[in-house]
Chains A and B, each alone.
Chain A
Amino acid sequence: MKPTVNISPKEDFINLYLDNLDLITENSSGVLNAVRQSALENFKLLGFPGLKNEKYKYMKVEAFFTGDYEKYFTPKRITFNVDDIFRCDIPSLDTHLALTLNGFYLSNPHPISEFENGVIVGSLAEAAKKYPNVVGKYYNSLSGNDADDGLVALNTAFAQDGVFIYIPKGVRVDKPVQIINLLMSDEQQLVQYRNLIIAEEGSQVEIAICDHTLSPEKFLSNVVTEIFTNGNASIDLVCMQNQHNDTAQFTHIFGQQEKDSKLVTNTISLHGGTIRNNINILLNGEGSESHTYGLSLVDRTQHVDMYSFIEHAKPNCTSFEQYKAILDDQATGAFNGRILVRKDAQKTQAFQSNNNLLLTADARMFTKPQLEIYADDVKCSHGATVGQLDLEAKFYMQSRGISEREAKLLLMFGFAHDVVGHIKIEALRDRIDELVNKRLRGELSRCHNCPMHCY
C-alpha cells in the first residue's frame, strides 16, 4: 500500500535515491559514484523544471515523473538473443555496433571492446573501472556546470551505466560507431543512463545513436550525453529517435570543443510521445566549428520541444544551427535557441534558423530564437518561420501531373531533406531519407525487422 500522504515527486525521487543508494553504487563504478551525492544536493535545490523556468515554458516536466514507473538499479536479466528481436535494417551500413537495453550496456560478449587502433567502445560503468583517470577527467565536467536544470542533476544522481566511446589521438575511425538504445519491458519503466564520448586531438569519428522501443509499455527516459571534441578533432553525431507514442524522452547533450575542432550533431525525431532535446555546445577553442541540426516530425498529440544553447567563448569560431519541424493533427512543438557570444569571442560567425511547417489549423509551434552578443566584431543571424505548404509549389507539381497528395508529400520531404542532407554517412542518410518518406506517408517507419508494432 502506498502512503496516502501526498509526497511531491521531488521528494519521491530523493527517497528513492536514499533507499536504493547501495544498489545504485554497487552496480556502477567509483567515478560515477563520486559525483552522486552533490548531484542529489543539486536536484534537491532545483527540483523539476517548472513552467516559470524560461527553458521549459511549454512543458510540464514534473507531470511526466509522477507516473508509476518501475525503476531498476541492477540490469534485469532478460534471456534472449538480441539478433532474434532486433536487427538494424540499414543496408550497407557497416558499423562498430554497441547496444544498450533499458539503459544498461549489453555485453556482447564483452562489456568493453578495445580495438587495435586504441579505439574503445563499451559500457561506461566498466570503462570507469578500467580507465578511471580518463573517465574521471571528463565525466560530469560539463553537465556538472549546468546550474539550472534539475533533470541533469537527477540523471547524474541516478546514472549507473551507458556507452563510453574513446578515440585516441590522431585516429580516424574507418567505420561509424553505432549505438542502439533499446527499451523493452513488460512493465512501464524509467531509465536514466549516461553516454560519454571523447575524441582526442586530431581524431575523427562518425557516430549514430538510435533510440527504439521494442515493447508497447510506457517508457520515460532521461539521458545525458557528454561529448568532448579535443583540438583538431572531428565528431559527426546522428541521433535517430524512433520510440512509440506512449513514451516521454528527455535528452541532454553537452558538447565541448577545443581549438580547430568540428562537432556536427543531427537529431532526427521520427516518433515519440513527448520528446525534449536539450543541446549545449561550448566553443572553447579558437577556430572551432559547430553544426547543430534537428528535424522533428510530429503528429496526433505528440509534443517535441527543442532547446539549444551555443556558447561562443573564444574568438574565430563558427556555428551553424538549423532546426525544422513538420507538425500535423493537434501536435505541438517548441524551439528555444540561444546563442551567446562572449566578450572575447571576436570574429564569431553564428547562424541560426528555425523553420516550421504546420499542416493543420490545430497544430501549434512556439519558437524563440535568441542572440546575446557581448563582442563587437561578429557576424550573426537568426530567423524563424512558421508557415504552411507552399501552394504555388503544390500547384506547379500538380500541373505536371503529380497528384495533390504526392505533391504535398514531395514538398514535405523536400523540407525535411534540407536537414537530413547534412548527414555525412551516406548509407545512413539514404536510410533516414527513406524513413522520413515512410513516416510522412504514415507507413511504418521503423526498422521493419522489429516484430513489435508499437504504435
Chain B
Amino acid sequence: MLSIKNLHAGINGNKILNGINLEVKAGETHAIMGPNGSGKSTLSAVLAGRDIFEVTQGEITFNGKNIFDMSPEQRSREGLFLSFQYPVEIPGVSMVNFMKTAINEHRKYKGLEPLSASDFLKLMRDRKELVEIDAALTNRAVNEGFSGGEKKRNEIFQMAMLEPKLSILDETDSGLDIDALRIVANGVNKLKRPDNATIVITHYQRLLDYIIPDFVHILYNGRIVKTGGKELALELEEKGYDWIKNTEESESNL
C-alpha cells in the first residue's frame, strides 16, 4: 500500500530525514517511535504533502502511484489520512460545511454523486456514535474553542467519515487523559479493516497498549534504526531513548 524508499527531506536547507525505508501493507498497524527531533512529524507532513518541506531524494508510492505527483487533496482522495498533532482551528467554517465539502470531493473523485443532505446527516450521526464524539461538537466551527481532547477526537471522527486506506496518527495521544485516550484508541480499532492500514506515531508506549502494532520502528536522526514487533516498544519504554542514542553513537564512533 505504502512504500517509502531512501527518503531524504528537510526544511530551509536543514536535513531532517536521512534515508527512510518503510513498507506498509493492507491490514497492518505500524508504530513509529522516537525521541523529540528525530523526524517523526516531518515524515507525516511529507506524506500528507505539506509543501514547506523539501524532499531531496528518494521515492514514495501509495497504491502504486508516485505520491509526489499528487497534491495534498489528491492524496486524501486516494485514501491517505493524517491525524494532526495540532489540529487547526478554522473560525467561521462549520464542521458540517467542512465535512460535507470533503466528503463530496471524495465522492466526486470516485465518480459518485454528492450525498443528499439527509444521507449526509445520517452518516454524521452514525460516525459520531462510532467514535463517541459529543454531538454538540459538530455544530461548531472546525476545532474552534475545542479542548485538546476534543480536537483529537474530532480527528478520529473525520477519519471515520472519510474511511481512509492509510491513516497516519501523528501523536494522537499527546494531551489526552486516560479516558480520552481509550475513546480515541477504541475509535481507531473500530475502524480497522483487513483492507486498510494505520501508522501510529508516538513518543510513549502507552498508546500501544490500546492500539496493538504489528511492527514497531524506532526513528532516530531521520533514519529508522531499529524495527521489531510490539515487544520492542516495551523494551524502549524500559530502557529509554538513551539506549538507542548510545547504541547509535557507539556505532558511529567505530
A234 and B61 alpha carbons, distance in the complex (Å)? 63
Closest chain A residue to B78 by CB distance?
Answer: A401
Whether the Cβ atoms of A401 and B76 lie closer than 8 Å is yes
- B72's contact among A392, A398, A406, A418, by CB below 8 Å, is which? A398
- A401's contact among B50, B87, B92, B109, by CB below 8 Å, is which? B109
Whether the Cβ atoms of B90 and A399 lie closer than 8 Å is no
Residues of A within 8 A of B93 (CB): 410-411, 413-414
Interface: A400 (CB within 8 A): yes
- 30 CB contacts below 8 A, A to B, read A390-B88, A393-B88, A393-B89, A395-B72, A396-B84, A397-B101, A398-B49, A398-B72, A398-B73, A398-B76, A399-B48, A399-B49, A399-B72, A399-B75, A399-B76, A399-B81, A399-B82, A400-B162, A401-B73, A401-B76, A401-B77, A401-B109, A402-B73, A403-B73, A406-B105, A411-B90, A413-B93, A414-B141, A415-B91, A416-B92
Which residues of chain A (375-396) have a CB below 8 Å from chain B? 390, 392-393, 395-396
Which residues of chain A (34-90) have a CB below 8 Å from chain B? none
Chain A proximity of B93: nearest CB distance (Å)? 4
Chain B proximity of A411: nearest CB distance (Å)? 7
Whether the Cβ atoms of B90 and A395 lie closer than 8 Å is no
Which residues of chain B (95-152) have a CB below 8 Å from chain A? 97-98, 101-102, 105-106, 109, 141
Chain A proximity of B51: nearest CB distance (Å)? 8
Interface: A417 (CB within 8 A): yes
Closest chain A residue to B45 by CB distance?
Answer: A395
- Beyond the given A414-B90, A418-B92, could you list 13 further A-B residue pairs with CB under 8 A, ordered by the A residue number? A393-B90, A396-B84, A398-B73, A399-B48, A400-B73, A400-B158, A401-B76, A401-B102, A401-B106, A411-B90, A414-B91, A414-B141, A415-B92
A401 and B99 alpha carbons, distance in the complex (Å)? 10
Chain A proximity of B91: nearest CB distance (Å)? 6
Interface: A404 (CB within 8 A): yes
Interface: B71 (CB within 8 A): yes
Residues of B within 8 A of A407 (CB): 73
Whether the Cβ atoms of B101 and A402 lie closer than 8 Å is yes
Whether the Cβ atoms of A410 and B97 lie closer than 8 Å is yes
Tell me the dominant secondary structure on chain A's binding face.
Answer: helix
Residues of A within 8 A of B75 (CB): 399
A403 and B104 alpha carbons, distance in the complex (Å)? 11
Whether the Cβ atoms of A404 and B73 lie closer than 8 Å is yes
Residues of A within 8 A of B89 (CB): 393
Whether the Cβ atoms of B50 and A403 lie closer than 8 Å is no
Residues of A within 8 A of B82 (CB): 399
Which residues of chain A (288-326) have a CB below 8 Å from chain B? none
Chain A residues with a Cβ closer than 8 Å to the other chain, count: 24
Whether the Cβ atoms of B49 and A396 lie closer than 8 Å is no
A398 and B76 alpha carbons, distance in the complex (Å)? 8
A397 and B158 alpha carbons, distance in the complex (Å)? 11
Residues of B within 8 A of A401 (CB): 73, 76-77, 102, 105-106, 109, 162
A311 and B240 alpha carbons, distance in the complex (Å)? 64
Contacts A403-B73, A414-B92: A397 and B98 contacting too (C-beta < 8 A)?
Answer: yes
Closest chain B residue to A400 by CB distance?
Answer: B102
Which residues of chain A (406-426) have a CB below 8 Å from chain B? 406-407, 410-411, 413-418, 421
A165 and B50 alpha carbons, distance in the complex (Å)? 56
A250 and B67 alpha carbons, distance in the complex (Å)? 54
Top 4 nearest A-B pairs by Cβ distance?
A414-B92, A401-B76, A414-B93, A398-B72
A404 and B72 alpha carbons, distance in the complex (Å)? 9
Whether the Cβ atoms of B88 and A418 lie closer than 8 Å is no
Whether the Cβ atoms of A397 and B92 lie closer than 8 Å is no
Residues of B within 8 A of A417 (CB): 92
A130 and B73 alpha carbons, distance in the complex (Å)? 65
Chain A proximity of B64: nearest CB distance (Å)? 19
A217 and B239 alpha carbons, distance in the complex (Å)? 80
A401 and B159 alpha carbons, distance in the complex (Å)? 12
> Which of B71, B73, B77, B88 has the most A CB atoms < 10 Å from its CB?
B73
Whether the Cβ atoms of B50 and A395 lie closer than 8 Å is yes
A407 and B98 alpha carbons, distance in the complex (Å)? 9
A402 and B72 alpha carbons, distance in the complex (Å)? 9
Residues of A within 8 A of B101 (CB): 397, 402, 406, 410
Residues of B within 8 A of A413 (CB): 92-93
Residues of B within 8 A of A414 (CB): 90-93, 141
A421 and B50 alpha carbons, distance in the complex (Å)? 32
A417 and B92 alpha carbons, distance in the complex (Å)? 6
Residues of B within 8 A of A406 (CB): 101, 105
Chain A proximity of B10: nearest CB distance (Å)? 18
Chain B proximity of A423: nearest CB distance (Å)? 14
Whether the Cβ atoms of A392 and B162 lie closer than 8 Å is no
A160 and B32 alpha carbons, distance in the complex (Å)? 77
Residues of B within 8 A of A392 (CB): 88
Which residues of chain B (53-91) have a CB below 8 Å from chain A? 71-73, 75-77, 81-82, 84, 87-91
Residues of A within 8 A of B97 (CB): 410
Residues of B within 8 A of A396 (CB): 84, 87-88, 90
> Which of B71, B72, B81, B158 has the most A CB atoms < 10 Å from its CB?
B72
Residues of A within 8 A of B88 (CB): 390, 392-393, 395-396
A162 and B76 alpha carbons, distance in the complex (Å)? 56
A421 and B93 alpha carbons, distance in the complex (Å)? 12
Residues of A within 8 A of B81 (CB): 399
Closest chain A residue to B159 by CB distance?
Answer: A400
A418 and B94 alpha carbons, distance in the complex (Å)? 11
> Which of A392, A398, A399, A421 has the most B CB atoms < 10 Å from its CB?
A399
A415 and B76 alpha carbons, distance in the complex (Å)? 25
A413 and B162 alpha carbons, distance in the complex (Å)? 23
A416 and B92 alpha carbons, distance in the complex (Å)? 8
Residues of A within 8 A of B105 (CB): 401-403, 406
Residues of B within 8 A of A415 (CB): 91-92
Whether the Cβ atoms of B49 and A418 lie closer than 8 Å is no
Residues of A within 8 A of B106 (CB): 401
Chain B proximity of A231: nearest CB distance (Å)? 35
Which residues of chain B (211-243) have a CB below 8 Å from chain A? none
Residues of A within 8 A of B77 (CB): 401
